[in-house]
Amino acid sequence: MKGKLACAVLMAPFFVLLVTVFLIPTGTAIWLSFFAQDQPGLGFGPESTVFVGLRSYAAVLSDPTFRGGLLTVVLYCLIYIPIMVVAALALALLLDSGVAKLRGWAQMGLYLPHAVPGIIAALIWLYLYTPGLSPIIDLFAKGDIHLNFLGIHTVLPSIVNIALWSNLGYNMVIFYAALQAVPREVLEASVVDGAGPVKQAVRIKAPLVKGAIVTVGIFTLIWALQLFTEPVLLSQSTPMISARFSPSMYIYDAAFTRNNYGLAAAASVILLAFTIALSYGVTRWTNRKAA
């Protein structure tokens, strides 16, 4: 009895927050997406709230700028997630192999960028990317190499770079922790069977931390689909990032530039559904492969 009460008290804050900052806003967004304040004709008359069904959804899905934003984050995910997972895993395996000296320092050095808030990180990189400000661009310019980090084809890789810098260390720590749980006798057996360090890492250790890889993959995916802070800040320095660059930016623009709440709400619900569907798909796919 006492245990149940303690359980309820300890769980309560979680559920209160879940309801107030997730379920209620989600419900409101869904409600808003089905209603609109309409005025007939040209729109200069008195407005009235009406149920519009899927009208806002149809508008979002027929908007090439929204579909373009969706395509941009899909492309971003395709570049970012594989690099992130492979690089974080490689670093974790390297640290785990004992080859690396000063392991503690290396871990801290790699983890430190993650402690920098995203907005500060983006500001630092904005400084490094902006022509006229950046010492790096100046340095290369002296050698007659002209870099443009914010050009039409380089801007997406530049954003990937910021995300990698911020999150590589964090994911590496997750993999490293998972590697600690690999049974030593399995590793010893592989050594006896003649596996060198590389073969051991690729063939034995990596498959054994598959669970961690899937988890990191899904979290990274969910995080990446909400791409917002970095492009918003970089957009101040380059016209190549439009106000509707990613779906999250589209939502912000719809609500605050276009004052179109129905559109913003519908786009939010679509992004949520897209994220859930993709996460579910990835989970199903990896489970099937395991079976």
Write the interaction track for another protein spanning residues 87-106; mark x where CB under 8 A is met and - where it is not. Answer: --------------------
Using rule CB under 8 A, residue 38 touches another protein? yes
Among 3, 14, 49, 135, binds another protein (CB under 8 A): 49
Using rule CB under 8 A, residue 65 touches another protein? yes
Angle at CA of residue 280, ends 173 and 230, nearest 5°: 55
DSSP string, 218-243: HHHHHHHHT--HHHHHHTTT-TTS-T
Using rule CB under 8 A, residue 156 touches another protein? no
Using an 8 Å Cβ cutoff, are 228 and 248 in contact? yes
Q: Which residues pair with 236 in a beta bridge?
A: none
Among 1, 185, 239, 290, binds another protein (CB under 8 A): 239
Pick 49 or 180: Cβ nearer another protein: 49
Using rule CB under 8 A, residue 253 touches another protein? yes
Using rule CB under 8 A, residue 70 touches another protein? no
Using rule CB under 8 A, residue 39 touches another protein? yes
Angle between helices 210-225 and 261-290 (to 10 degrees): 170
Among 3, 13, 104, 132, binds another protein (CB under 8 A): 132
Pick 113 or 131: Cβ nearer another protein: 131
| Per-residue CA distances from 63 to 60, 127, 245, 283 (Å) | 5, 33, 13, 30
Q: Residue 21 carries which DSSP code?
A: I
Pick 34 or 176: Cβ nearer another protein: 34
At 47, phi and psi to the nearest 5? -100, 155
Q: Is 56 exposed, middle or buried (0-12, 13-18, 19+ CB in 10 A)?
A: buried
Pick 71 or 86: Cβ nearer another protein: 71
**Strand ranges inside 11-106, DSSP E:** 35-38, 48-51
Work out how close the CB of 63 gets to another protein at its nearest, in angstroms, rounded to a whole number: 4
Work out how close the CB of 109 gets to another protein at its nearest, in angstroms, rounded to a whole number: 36
Which tokens in the block code for residue 262?
A: 């129905």
Using rule CB under 8 A, residue 114 touches another protein? no
Which residues of this protein are in contact with another protein, per CB under 8 A? Answer: 25, 28, 32, 36-45, 47, 49-50, 52, 55-56, 58-60, 62-66, 132, 151-152, 239-240, 242-244, 253-264, 266
